[in-house]
Structure 1
Amino acid sequence: MKIVVCVKQVPDAKDVRLDPTTNTLAREGVQSIMNPYDRHALEEGVRLAAELGGTVTVLSMGPPQAQEVLREAVACGADEAVLVSDRAFAGADTWATTHTLAQAIKTIGGADLVLCGKQAIDGDTAQVGPGLAERLGFPYATCVKKVLDCADGAMRLQRLMDDGYDTLEVQLPALLTVVKEINEPRLPSLKGKMKAKKLAIKTLSAADIDADPAQIGLPGSPTQVVRVFSPQARGERTIFTGSIDEQVTQLARELKQL
């Protein structure tokens, strides 16, 4: 089985701040990490490859420094790594991103299974997984919490819902987006770190994947972020202190005055 895991390099959420002048994310001095949900997708890919037999190729679209998360993925068990990087991809929204990733997957020979994290912590749209499946023509399932089995060209899954989970079956090739409940990601091994250090990461440009110039980067993005800002606090706020009983008494007193 050929498994492709899509990962994204994102700013560490605990260090993210806004530039008050430009109203954009201030990335200088902010550590970049692998998107946390993608870690679970990677772990599931490595687990399935070991269980069912196959290889795991980790794929990312981003600037050259995104090689860091790809090497980390190899250290955690991925077999190969591919970076799709080109200035022409800058400013891509989810629509343009899915075109780029789909073209890259086709260029490297396709996949039997594509795994993605449920969403990225920087954009939080949860659109790339389903959009990529549509581009590839694959059936897909989102918010997968468990892979039950794989037989006769199909996978049985549990999909997390607000009130429990659904059990469903998808035919391969397919795309799954996973939630953190699916597994516990492993730490990089010493052997994996040595392999990652020596690995030559394949880099593909827009021309290499035969990307449509009208569907990549800013020109190919129907949506654009005009500005990012912190909402202003509205209304008066009261902070209650003391024990729980004392705070409840204070709250009841405040409510009676409304």
Structure 2
Amino acid sequence: MKKFVAALILFTRLPVWKWVNPSQSDYSDAVVYWPLTGWLTGGLTAFVMYCFSFVMPWSTAVILALVGRLLLTGALHEDGLADFCDAFGCGGDKDRILSIMKDSHIGTYGVIGLICYISVWISLFSSFGPMMAVCTVFAADPFAKLCAGQLTNILPYARPEGAKNKISYSRMHWHQILFQIICGVLPMFFLLMLNPWFALAAVCPIVTFTLSALLMSGKIGGYTGDCCGATCLLCELSMIIGISVILYSGL
């Protein structure tokens, strides 16, 4: 239970720390619950999107749903994506990339990365119908967190001094990975009820994760928290793009 609360504290602004105080080891083992927190963040986004669709234009409902998720998560992943784009966009050796990611200021690549991500996200969901969009966002969020969580299992932490929040994620055992996969994949069944061909969209985040992991391994020899956040959003967006391609291809 404390490990799940630790994941909620890491990924949301919910004040659950007032009632439960996880230990350092709980935070280290919280990766297994990342997809389960996606049920909350993705579920709230879907709920806001669906409710507002009855009282305002659909595109506005989509934007407000994204705002709701940003408020819930504190834009944690978006901050990671901006730092990731700045660091790998500027390039250089390992020390330079890690130094840029550690800098709290946002640069040109980070701004462009966030604009592109948000624009494509809003554009795609605005083109879906309400039920299609609700099922997609509820499926994509946990699956993306499942993919991002695998970085901690296959790559070492890139900074020799360790994470600035002092959290070192433990590698998962096979039964923890199985639980993580179940939590990440289960919400997709709502999407598959609309069209079984949407299962093919899961290939997109897997490819995105693989390419991201290869980039991180080659450039900095591991991952950072910003890398995990960026991977989460990029995997989510690639899955939404895949669903859109399948939808508009007539499958």
**So what's the TM-score if we normalise by structure 2?**
0.27
- Relative to total residues, which structure has the larger helix share, 1 or 2? 2
In our comparison, the structure showing a higher alpha carbon Rg is 1
- Relative to total residues, which structure has the larger strand share, 1 or 2? 1
